[in-house]
Structure 1
Amino acid sequence: MHVYLFTLPVAMAKLKLYYDLMSQPSRAVYIFLKVNNIPFEAIQIAIRNGEHRKPTYTKITLFQQVPVIDDDGFILTESVAILQYICMKYKLAEHWYPLATPETHARVQEYLNWQHANIRFHGTMLFRILFRLPQETKQPVNKAEAEDCRERNKAVVRHLDQYFLKDKNFLCGREISIADLLAVCELMQLHVVDEVNIVHQNDRVREWFSRVKDRLGSAFDAGHKIVYKVHDLYKSTLKSEIARL
């Protein structure tokens, strides 16, 4: 009599993503998971309601920020680290986070380091000046600060054009990478406050933006559904209300 021993396959724990789609880095990770068909449990953390400060979330991350992933007990913060981890853990296409070619890898790393004090900082500041501060303080927009910030964002777009893109289809080479994904999510923050013309005025950056959006497909719109709604609300109501302050 033969006895056959076998074990049933153990289901892999689904990746958990803690996110808020008003957060640029959250959108990048959310879109990336969808584009690459990686199953995940989406757990929304509404920053506007202070959910990131609740004790239950603080147990997950002391930083009280989004995005955060929990991959079967492995907790990771910071969008750049999360995207890099996903690329390597799930063995995604090399173009997303190039490792084999030192020069291309270095270009992606260059952008990832450059972005924080440039595209992210200045885009967030314009959003804050035109949207958040007037709502929080009930004070009118500081027009001088807003115009100065617009000029800084225009400079960022010029740098994308003249340094990163030049004659390439994407920021760091011939193929899309996580640098392009992070960049478009940052620039979409300008769309919320009806300032995306800063991007559209530059032909090469406008074409690149459209190219990246096409490559991301339906995941792009899924990740920006809240941005579209807030933009429509801002343009139809909030912009005029803020102007009357």
Structure 2
Amino acid sequence: MSLKLYCDLMSQPSRALYILLKSIKCNFEPKFVNLRQAEHYTEEYSAINRFQKVPVIDHNGFILTESVAILKYLSRENVIPESLYPKESKAQARVEEFLEWQHAGLRLHCAMYFRVKYLNPVMFGKPADPVSLAGYESRMEAALTEFNDKWLGRGTDFINGNTPTVADLLAACELEQPRMSGYDPSANFKNIQVWWKKVREHFNPYYDEGHVIVNKIIKKNTQVASKI
């Protein structure tokens, strides 16, 4: 089997796929695409992904974009073990229920807060408008409340039962993004705090490996903030 993963570890779904493939001991080739250097806009990469985004897989010449589509495909191809992506119809539907919800339910708000609070000021040298930022933070916290209460507050260790699935890994990687902006999603949400620790432990050491860049940025920002 030949499997290539085009990714950037600053990208949440890229990290999720990278960690997943590492943790299941999949023999894949990571092909890093530096978004900060605009490598996704090159002609070479545009020929691979016409949408100029990450992640992308090339599986024996079959190129596929979009993280959820990739997860579903790799499950059908028996690359992802059944323990992480169930085959049984109802159990699989529960995982996919979360995968469908998380795009607008969690990812959108965490990613936009990160972009407005951290990424845009770094790229354009202008701090975020306080009123606008407060709105993004409020919407993110509403999403975190929903995730904390309605997905995790059901008496199980993970999103869909007492064993982790790809749903947990995808969610955990999304929540790492606002940490680079100085916001810890677990600080005021007990269910997230307990669950997140379990997800990290389950997928380590590859979880930490996939977040090495993220953690360096968090450490650097923390050091800067402590000097102000």
TM-score by length of 2: 0.93
Q: Structure 1: which 4+ aligned runs deviate by more than 3 Å?
A: none
- Give the Cα separation in 2 of the matches to 1:140 and 1:158: 27
- 2:53 pairs, out of 40, 65, 79, with 65
**AA of the residue aligned to 2:105:** N
More deviation, 87-96/149-158: 87-96
Deviation at 1:160, TM superposition (A): 1.6
Mapped contact 2:149–2:191 kept (Cα < 8 A): no
State yes or no: 1:110 paired with 2:97.
yes
2:16 alignment partner in structure 1? 28
- 2:3 pairs, out of 8, 15, 18, with 15
Report Cα offsets for 1:98-136 as digits up to 9, x if no partner.
22141x222212111111112111111111111122123
2:180 alignment partner in structure 1? 192
State yes or no: 1:48 paired with 2:14.
no
- 2:108 pairs, out of 103, 112, 121, with 121
SS state of the match for residue 121, structure 2?
A: helix
**AA of the residue aligned to 2:103:** H
1:234 alignment partner in structure 2? 221
- Give the Cα separation in 1 of the matches to 2:116 and 2:49: 28
Deviation at 1:91, TM superposition (A): 5.0
**AA of the residue aligned to 1:119:** L
More deviation, 152-161/29-38: 152-161
Deviation at 1:240, TM superposition (A): 8.6
- Give the Cα separation in 1 of the matches to 2:80 and 2:46: 31
**AA of the residue aligned to 1:202:** F
- Give the Cα separation in 2 of the matches to 1:20 and 1:204: 29
- 1:204 pairs, out of 191, 194, 206, with 191
2:130 alignment partner in structure 1? 143
- Give the Cα separation in 1 of the matches to 2:136 and 2:226: 20
Report Cα offsets for 1:136-179 as digits up to 9, x if no partner.
33222212222222222222222122211221111122211111
Instruction: Give aligned-pair identity as a percent.
Output: 38
Segments of structure 1 that go 5 or more residues without pairing to the other structure are 1-11
**AA of the residue aligned to 1:180:** D
Report Cα offsets for 1:192-215 as digits up to 9, x if no partner.
11201x323111111000011111
State yes or no: 1:223 paired with 2:195.
no
More deviation, 92-101/158-167: 92-101
Mapped contact 2:121–2:128 kept (Cα < 8 A): yes
- Give the Cα separation in 1 of the matches to 2:14 and 2:199: 17
**AA of the residue aligned to 2:29:** E
**AA of the residue aligned to 1:64:** Q
Q: How many pairs does the alignment contain? A: 227
Deviation at 1:234, TM superposition (A): 2.5
SS state of the match for residue 227, structure 1?
A: helix
SS state of the match for residue 59, structure 1?
A: helix
State yes or no: 1:85 paired with 2:73.
yes
When the two chains are superposed, the root-mean-square deviation of aligned CA atoms in Å is 1.8
SS state of the match for residue 48, structure 2?
A: coil
